[in-house]
Amino acid sequence: MPRARVGVLISGTGSNMAALLYASRADDCPYEIVLVASNVPSAPGLALAAAEGVPVFARDHKGLKRAEFDALIDAELARHGAEFVALAGYMRLLSPAFVAKWQGRCLNIHPSLLPAHKGLDVHEAVLAAGDAVTGATVHLVTPELDDGPILGQTRVAVLPGDTAASLAVRVHYAEHQLYPRVLARLVAERTGPEVLLARVRALALALPAAEEKLSHGMNGFFVTGGKFFGYFLSNHHGDGITALLVKTSEVEEQAQLIDQDPELYYRPAYFGPSGWIGIRLDMGDVDWDNVEAWLARSWQVSAPKRLARILADF
């Protein structure tokens, strides 16, 4: 399964970026870091990322309007195929256009138990308030500062005699544990088989008289009183593939498609000889228009004639 592509934005040390990066080295980590970008060219985290072979981008934001600078960052993210953005000590407010574009796919880490102590000088505020417990929060980025839906938190005890600096050290430990875990969970939720199945199901069941049932461990979609027109499979027989099987009109077409795009199409075991084709859903960006068109065609060849006429006007 290809891993979700994450761009990280930093302005300073980048220890959270490092935590995300080293966590991504684990075989089972569902994301990879494809870019580390900064508005501070001297940010120490950039040198670390570069030394680890991660593409870096640095540009001083001075002299550029917020939206202009964000458009530069956005273009870099696009150039590296980023699907998610992790802010890790990125000390700039983002423009509304950037936040809107990345909504649901942009996270931030904040060194307090939000909603307590938003903004800067957090550890000083915790000590001034006499809090017994503080911590770290990962949340989705929304237009309001440090305000988006909370994805995860870790509590950190405040010790007698703590200073802002001593507290910051322990909160950093907590952050480094929390951020990779929450990011991994978010990308798995957004790109995992359950999400793909939900999308396929919505398209398949929108077709006339379409129903679903489990068949040989796969989610099968069939026409009432007719045949199956689609199967969703994920790691079937342990092959690690997530795909949709649909019916082509003939075996020659199946061969042609595989020839044209062998990354996307494949000949499925057992089903292949009767003209079914596999469409990979785990190769990154899924072309959902193509999936929808295939489901409709497959429905057409599987539906009883009287129903198939309906789809012509559907």
Q: Which residues are known to be catalytic?
A: 110
Stretch of residues binding ligand GRF (CB under 6 A), selected from 103-111, 156-164, 248-256, 306-314: 103-111
The answer to whether 123 contacts ligand GRF (rule: CB under 6 A) is: no
Comparing CB distances to ligand GRF, the nearer of 159 and 206 is 159
The secondary structure element, H or E, covering residue 134 is strand 133-140
* Residues contacting ligand GRF: total by CB under 6 A: 12
Q: For residue 159, give the DSSP letter.
A: P
The answer to whether 220 contacts ligand GRF (rule: CB under 6 A) is: no
The answer to whether 109 contacts ligand GRF (rule: CB under 6 A) is: yes
My answer on whether omega of the bond before 115 falls inside 30° of 0, hence cis, is yes
Q: Are 221 and 230 in contact (CB under 8 A)?
A: yes
Comparing CB distances to ligand GRF, the nearer of 10 and 156 is 10
Comparing CB distances to ligand GRF, the nearer of 151 and 223 is 151
Please give the residues from 3 up to 62 whose contact with ligand GRF meets the rule CB under 6 A. 10, 12-16
The residue length of the chain stands at 314
The answer to whether 126 contacts ligand GRF (rule: CB under 6 A) is: no
Closest distance of CB 208 from ligand GRF, Å: 51
What whole-number distance in Å separates Cα of residue 57 and Cα of residue 7?
A: 10
What whole-number distance in Å separates Cα of residue 218 and Cα of residue 198?
A: 14
Comparing CB distances to ligand GRF, the nearer of 89 and 275 is 89
Stretch of residues binding ligand GRF (CB under 6 A), selected from 105-113, 184-192, 217-225, 237-245: 105-113
Q: Are 21 and 101 in contact (CB under 8 A)?
A: no
Comparing CB distances to ligand GRF, the nearer of 173 and 308 is 173
The answer to whether 110 contacts ligand GRF (rule: CB under 6 A) is: yes
Packing angle, helices 193-205 and 164-191, rounded to 10: 40
The answer to whether 111 contacts ligand GRF (rule: CB under 6 A) is: yes
**Exposed/middle/buried for residue 73 (C-beta within 10 Å: 0-12, 13-18, 19+):** buried
Tokens representing residue 248 in the block: 């082509």
Q: Which of 181, 183, 297 is nearest to 244 (CA)?
A: 297
Please give the residues from 63 up to 92 whose contact with ligand GRF meets the rule CB under 6 A. 88-89
Tokens representing residue 75 in the block: 């273009």
Residues that bind ligand GRF (CB under 6 A): 10, 12-16, 88-89, 109-111, 175
